[in-house]
A = this chain, B = another copy of it.
């Protein structure tokens, strides 16, 4: 039963017929497949958004689920399409590194196969929609029990996406905003574990020291307060209680963030 679950993650939005066409192709080949939408709101062609999303969502799924990811600026070029196994998770992805952040954090890469066997594809493959013409039918075939090794040859090289790493500095960390959620919360790449209540916070080039409270959860401070806390995925998060930190701090993906503590940093920023 679980092996017939297929999830979809795309940057298609929902006004267009693209997601629907993929669902049709999957159900045409395996009417018993259970399709689960993860998101169709990845920012257009934004591989870092896709990478963060997959690293934060896929680990919660059981093995055998097939995750189809279509964030694919290189569609139709000679970039490959891949079947990958990361730990116990199975994904079908363009070879653009969208899945390597997941692999960094959540298990070894067990198998990578380049999709090559066209008999598992739609008979006609367009130059601009491999989600519908290759990944959807391959997912349907996998969900019916096709062995991944039938899909094409194993490969041992693939594109990696450079995920920005935070830097440990004297009495603090320098990093950046990895993701802004729909509440406007800023999820950074700075690990929250071991962060003692810092007394310095700089977002962009604006020091918020003294105006930001370190809390355990949003409800620990009154509405409108700027707070720093551990995100649900273990990173430093900057939020405005029942408001939008992205708006208040004019911050976005990639905005630099610095936290520190100790007197020698107190004038920093």
Contact = CB atoms under 8 A, between A and B. Distances in A.
A20 B61 CA distance: 9
A28 B182 contact: no
Interface stretch (A123-131, A168-176, A199-207): A123-131
User: Most B CB atoms within 10 A — which of A41, A60, A127?
Assistant: A60
A60 B132 contact: yes
A182 B128 contact: no
A12 interface: yes
A196 interface: no
Contacts of A153: none
A31 B232 contact: no
A35 interface: yes
A206 to B, nearest CB: 24
B65 A218 contact: no
Interface in A25-44: 25, 27-28, 31-32, 34-44
B129 A232 contact: yes
Interface of A: 1-2, 5, 7, 9, 11-25, 27-28, 31-32, 34-45, 49, 52-54, 56-62, 64-65, 73-77, 79, 126-129, 132-133, 179, 181-183, 216-220, 229-233, 237, 242
A14 B182 contact: yes
Contacts of A28: 60-62
B218 A1 contact: no
Contact of A18 (B1, B73, B181, B237): B181
Contact of A183 (B25, B44, B242): B44
Given A15-B41, A230-B127, A231-B128, A31 B182 contact: no
Contacts of A34: 34
12 contacts: A13-B41, A14-B40, A15-B41, A15-B182, A17-B38, A20-B56, A22-B60, A23-B36, A27-B36, A76-B218, A77-B220, A127-B229
